[in-house]
Amino acid sequence: MALLQISEPGEATAPHQHRLAAGIDLGTTNSLVATVRSGAAAVLEDEEGEAIFPSVVRYGNDGVSAIGRQAREQAAEDPYNTISSVKRLIGLSAEDIAASSASMMFQLVETDSTVPRIRTDAGPKTAIEVSADILKSLKARAEQSLGGELGGVVVTVPAYFDDTQRQATKDAAKLAGLNVYRLVNEPTAAAIAYGLDRQETDSTIAVYDLGGGTFDISILKLERGVFEVLSTAGDTALGGDDIDQALVSWFVGEHDITVGEDAALQRSLLDQARAVKHQLTDANEAQFQIEYQDKSYCSSLSLETFRSLVHVLVDRTLKSCRGALRQAKLKKTDIDNVVMVGGSTRVPIVRQMVSEFFDQDVLTDINPDEVVAVGAALQADVLAGNKPDSDMLLLDVNPLSLGIETHGGLVEQIIPRNTTIPVARAQEFTTFKDGQTAMALHVVQGERDLVRDCRSLGRFELRGFVPAVAGQARIQVMFQVDADGLLTVSAIEKISEVHAEVQIKPSYGLLDAEIETMIRDSMTHAEQDVAARMLQEQRVEAERTVAALDAAMSRDADEFLTASEKQKILDAREYVVQSGKSDDAEAIKNALRELESVSEVYVARRMNASVGETMTGKNIDSYQKQDNPS
């Protein structure tokens, strides 16, 4: 396993020169920026003393008309121009979005571009642009409070973010004028905030992150100062928003209110629900009240009722926790620390239930909605070179297997999921046809055996290598995933040394829900996959054999075979072709065996003849010349 020392970007820094660096938690609901000052990391506040920056942007005719808290407060006035939860879209295609629940939240512009755009009064906006607007505000806040330009930042991303989502996040930061030292996984940042990386002994850490609209559980392993993400699980449609929604349903039921399509009413109900929920962190009772169409509705919510509403949701998160443990092959008792992350873990019953589940006290000392930004700030400080002696090490894993399409639509895995990154793996492939001088490479991501069940990441071609007999060319394909989790694929044909490379660029990515489904599918479909793979392999084999046979027979069938021998082979060939069209792997296999056996004579005669030919085709002179070059 390659260990990675992260001190590169700041190595040349003079000791007295302190570089301004910040950590940014770019959240679905809320974002924060933090920095290290006099050795301690802290979040940066706005003029009103607020650290939390709602990830909400409102657009008007002239561009951004409100952002952050202001935009969220005004959301009910202008719901269609107010973009929130844009992180759910980043790195996704229109197709991805259409298939997800996020489609309900955004009005997408119809275009033929692969990058989806949200309709706003300021024109169509991509998720990257909206994220960049949020990042610009955080940059401004940091530079104002630090009194100088930022040298660089660490931006956090969910551990399950795939290549395109990471790349898109980086692009958003670039667009905001930020220099990104590195992307760091959110759970890793949280663990660093607690200083768990500086523990004497090795440990296993569970990071429980219940935010506004997502739940993530990550199991990290810390070994000799190295972090590894052992597993991640979660639910991309579960968070504080669901608590709010549950409160609204309760309230609407109490008063028999019909909400319908009224977006403004929906917003005010949700705003009130959130306020009530926050109150119940410290109180035993709260008043839920709204004014609507000159009428006033009010109910008192007891802590008891609130707990019963939240209980169901927490139970769902615990199911994911079990899944993550199983995937990491660990028991609850193997977990040494449980870190609580996300604003929703402020809810006392959440803490209590998680604590009971893991049978230990959970870590809540650092503000759960600030902890990720704090960890990111500590990382940024190291990367800026402000702590030259730091030996902080960091490892993450790639969330899904990466591979290449081979003949017949099969996937050859090159880097299995959960491999620690950075990583480089190479594999050799060969050509399928005689005289082939080019090869198309198709990079895919996913857990299934067939390409059509995986996600296509990119295609490129390797051209102009020396033609050779099928199976003789040696094409080495190299997959490299860097520390940010970004993939580069290169290929080289070893004989002619032709080289080609592709960086997997953001077009769109996987839905995180899709990642879960893909992982689950690979388990439930394992048997089916084996059968599908067998069938596909047999088909490829049949195709290959028929092609080779046809090529040979067109050259010299009449020379080596009697008419009846030839007919026998052609019959067997036809049998292979026909069974190749069926879904019966066994039948194809039998047909191939039959063809092989009737062709034996032919193959033998050709071979003998070809040995003879090489010997007789050249005279002694040419052999001697070759042996003794003058």
Active-site residue set: 25, 87, 186, 209
CB of 209 to Mg ion, least distance (A): 6
* Least Å from the CB of residue 343 to ligand ADP: 2
Q: Among 7-15, 26-34, 132-140, 397-405, which window interacts with ligand ADP (CB under 6 A)?
A: 26-34
In whole angstroms, how close is the CB of 27 to ligand ADP at the nearest point?
Answer: 2
CB nearer to Mg ion: pick between 211 and 506? 211
- Tell me whether residue 272 is exposed, middle or buried, using C-beta atoms within 10 angstroms of its C-beta: 0 to 12, 13 to 18, 19 or more: buried
Q: Which of 10, 158, 211, 234 binds ligand ADP (CB under 6 A)?
A: 211
Binding of ligand ADP by 27 (CB under 6 A): yes
Task: Pick one of Mg ion, ligand ADP, none as the site partner of residue 545 (Cβ within 5 to 8 A by kind).
Answer: none
* Of residues 139 and 277, the one with the C-beta less far from ligand ADP: 277
Q: Which is nearer to ligand ADP, 405 or 512 (CB)?
A: 512
The CA distance from 379 to 172, in Å, is 20
Q: Which residue from 277, 351, 455, 573 is in contact with ligand ADP, where contact means CB under 6 A?
A: 277
18 contact, one of Mg ion, ligand ADP, none, CB 5-8 Å limit per kind: none
Q: Residue 381: what residue type?
A: D
Q: What are phi and psi of 475, to 5 degrees?
A: -110, 115
For the bound state, the minimum distance from the C-beta of residue 29 to Mg ion, rounded and expressed in Å, comes to 7
The runs of H, that is alpha helices, within 280-386 are 303-327, 348-358, 371-383
Binding segment for ligand ADP (CB under 6 A), chosen from 16-24, 58-66, 111-119, 337-345, is 337-345
Contact 258, 240 (CB under 8 A): no
274 interacts with, out of ligand ADP, Mg ion, none, CB within 5 to 8 A per kind: ligand ADP
Residue 574, C-beta contacts closer than 8 angstroms, at least 6 positions apart: none
Contact indicator for 295, 303 with CB cutoff of 8 Å: no
When asked if residue 30 is in the footprint of ligand ADP (CB under 6 A), the reply is yes
Question: Which lies closer to Mg ion via its Cβ, residue 27 or residue 54?
Answer: 27
Look at residue 488 and give its three-state secondary structure.
strand
Q: How far is the CB of 29 from ligand ADP (least distance, A)?
A: 4
- The encoded tokens of residue 270 equal 């949700």
User: Is residue 344 near ligand ADP by the rule CB under 6 A?
Assistant: yes
**From the centroid of its chain, how far is CA 469?**
39
Q: Cβ closer to ligand ADP: 27 or 234? A: 27
Return d(Cα 605, Cα 103) in angstroms, integer.
Answer: 65
Binding partner selected for residue 139 from ligand ADP, Mg ion, none, CB under the kind-specific 5 to 8 Å limit: none
**What CA–CA distance (Å, rounded) separates 23 from 84?**
21
Decide which of Mg ion, ligand ADP, none touches 347; Cβ closer than 5 to 8 Å per partner kind.
Answer: ligand ADP
CA angle 191, 229, 5 (to 5 degrees): 75
Alpha-carbon torsion angle 361, 365, 367, 372, nearest 10: -80
Among 37, 278, 589, 605, binds ligand ADP (CB under 6 A): 278
User: Would you tell me how many other CB atoms lie within 10 Å of the CB of residue 590?
Assistant: 15
From the list 208-216, 314-322, 411-419, 611-619, the region that binds ligand ADP by CB under 6 A is: 208-216
Cβ neighbours, 10 Å, residue 54: 21
Regarding 284 and contact with ligand ADP (CB under 6 A), the answer is: no
CB of 25 to ligand ADP, least distance (A): 7
What is residue 44's three-state secondary structure? coil
* Tokens 């019963």 -> residue: 308
Cβ pair 297, 252 in contact under 8 A: no
346 binds ligand ADP (CB under 6 A): yes
Cα 187 to Cα 35: distance, rounded to the nearest angstrom: 18
Of the CA atoms within 13 Å of residue 213, those in its CB half-sphere come to: 17
> Binding residues for Mg ion, per CB under 5 A?
27, 211
Identity of residue 169: T
To ligand ADP, the closest distance from the beta carbon of 242 in angstroms equals: 9
Residue 222-241 contact track with ligand ADP, rule CB under 6 A, x = bound:
-----------------xxx
Q: Is 137 in the site for ligand ADP (CB under 6 A)?
A: no
Closer CB to ligand ADP, residue 91 or residue 240? Answer: 240
Quick one: which of 19, 136, 274, 525 contacts ligand ADP (CB under 6 A)? 274
Q: Of 101, 123, 136, 35, which Cα lies nearest the Cα of 386?
A: 35
Enumerate binding residues for ligand ADP (CB under 6 A).
27-30, 211-214, 239-241, 274, 277-278, 281, 342-344, 346-347, 369
